[in-house]
Amino acid sequence: MNHYPESILNLIKSLSRLPGIGRKTAERLSLHILHAPNHEAQTLANDILELKKKVRLCSTCFSLSDREECRICSNPNRDRSSICVVENPTDMVAIEKSGAFSGRYHILGGALSPMDGIGPDELRIKELFARAVSKSITEVIIATGTDVEGEATASYIIDNLKKKGVNVTRIASGVPMGGDLQYVDQVTMQRAMEGRRGS
Amino acid sequence: MNHYPESILNLIKSLSRLPGIGRKTAERLSLHILHAPNHEAQTLANDILELKKKVRLCSTCFSLSDREECRICSNPNRDRSSICVVENPTDMVAIEKSGAFSGRYHILGGALSPMDGIGPDELRIKELFARAVSKSITEVIIATGTDVEGEATASYIIDNLKKKGVNVTRIASGVPMGGDLQYVDQVTMQRAMEGRRGS
């Protein structure tokens, strides 16, 4: 495949390392960048470096942030009495997109998984407990994943917070909206039945 | 969509500008780069900048090159008596991949297209004529595209080179290998018939 100059081959190789980008796509992208205006390529390169340099974890909720405290934690308009606990920053983004929560978050950095050597000390659970016992907190909402690890993490946190007298809730599980019931898996259907409410 | 810190949003925006990369893919790639080792992100950014800085056109054949003369033109093992004329560097790469040609190339930089204001002076046709009349050249092979513009470009070059007494040939048109004849379009089939040879 050595039919391009070295600097094109180098970029093709670097781009191929990205997830979902194969050799052919990397080739196409490289040639696009080659023919794109200089400032566009420079912006792209610069954005990559800035991202690595600037993004860190919020000192309060551990979500991704450009600053010491993230935009949500430092926003005075957010409700400071509730904390929503999620595994990862992307989960937080999904909840933010829904617009259904106006409090602040706590990002655990993963889920309990003893098989992979991830115990409570590997996650930001201690930090959650420290935040949750503050008098200003009236509700901690658990929104961990619905897989085995997420469920285990939720149980562990709920048990411990209840002992500390904290009001804990969990987001509802059930059938997703807009879907056909015939495609809903058994476990989800069981959860939907268990969680039925009078209407 | 403002749920990420600014430096992540910037990279998402830059990546979305690339062809075939939508908002979702850009988001996924940005988060991958965020979690990738520092040196990987730096290599990627560096490769982008190096590409723009280093790649230029070969002074002989006008293909993409890191140096004054490209690897093919400066390779003493390539046959110096034949020139293959193509529209673009990617066409050259396609021929190189086939391994069917061992001479040198001439990249026109496009095809004649009076509708778009591309005449002979906008392409590197003058330079081709200058190279082709050299006594060391025994054959000029035309491998322009098979669309209207490519055909027009081929005719123009063939007419002019013949007047100058240069031996010009064209790569064969016909049915592609490995395909089903029923899917071959009419024009290709006509070409294949016209180009039939005794066997």
Average pLDDT over residues B141-161: 93
Do the chains contact at B14 and A97, CB–CB below 8 Å?
no
Residues constituting chain A: 199
Residue A182 burial class via C-beta count within 10 angstroms: exposed 0-12, middle 13-18, buried 19 and up? exposed
C-alpha R_g of chain B: 22
**How far, in Å, CA of A196 to CA of B51, rounded?**
59
Secondary structure letter of residue A160 according to DSSP: H
Q: Has residue A187 got a pLDDT over 90?
A: no
Which CATH topology does B64-198 take? Dna Topoisomerase Vi A Subunit; Chain: A, domain 2 (3.40.1360)
pLDDT band at B122 (very low <50, low <70, confident <90, very high): very high
Of A170-184, B28-42, B166-180, which has the strongest mean pLDDT? Answer: B28-42
List CB contacts (< 8 A) between A45 and chain B.
Answer: 44-46, 48-49
Mean pLDDT, chain B, as a whole number? 91
Given CA atoms B38, B41, B42, B43 in this order, what sign does their dihedral have?
Answer: positive
If one compares B19 and A198, the residue with the highest pLDDT of the two is: B19
Higher per-residue pLDDT: A48 or B195: A48
**Cβ-proximal residues to A199 (8 Å cutoff; 6+ apart), any chain:** none
The count of other CB atoms within 10 Å of the CB of residue A138 is 13
Pairing of β B56-57 and β B64-65: antiparallel
Q: What is the pLDDT of residues B60-71, one digit of tens each?
A: 999 999 999 999
At residue B1, the pLDDT reads 53
Domain map of chain B by residue range? 6-54, 64-198
A6-54, superfamily in CATH? RecR Domain 1 (1.10.8.420)
- Residues A182 and A199: their CA atoms lie apart, in Å, by 23
Q: How confident is the model at residue A1 (pLDDT cuts 50, 70, 90)?
A: low
A51 and B30 in contact by Cβ < 8 A?
A: yes
Q: How far is CA A35 from CA A49, B95, B120, in A?
A: 22, 21, 22
Both ends of chain A: CA-CA distance in Å?
65
Chain A residues within 8 A of B17 when measuring between CB atoms: 40, 44
Q: Which residues of A are less than 8 Å from B66 in CB distance?
A: 5-7
- CB contact under 8 Å between A52 and B34, yes or no, is yes
> What one-character-per-residue DSSP string does A95-126 give?
HHHHT---SEEEE-SS--BGGGTB-GGGTTHH
Q: Provide the 3-class DSSP secondary structure of residue A86.
A: strand
Classify residue A22 by burial, with Cβ atoms within 10 Å: 0-12, 13-18, 19+. Answer: exposed
Do A64 and B8 make contact, defined as CB atoms within 8 angstroms?
yes
Residue A158 φ/ψ, nearest 5 degrees:
-60, -45
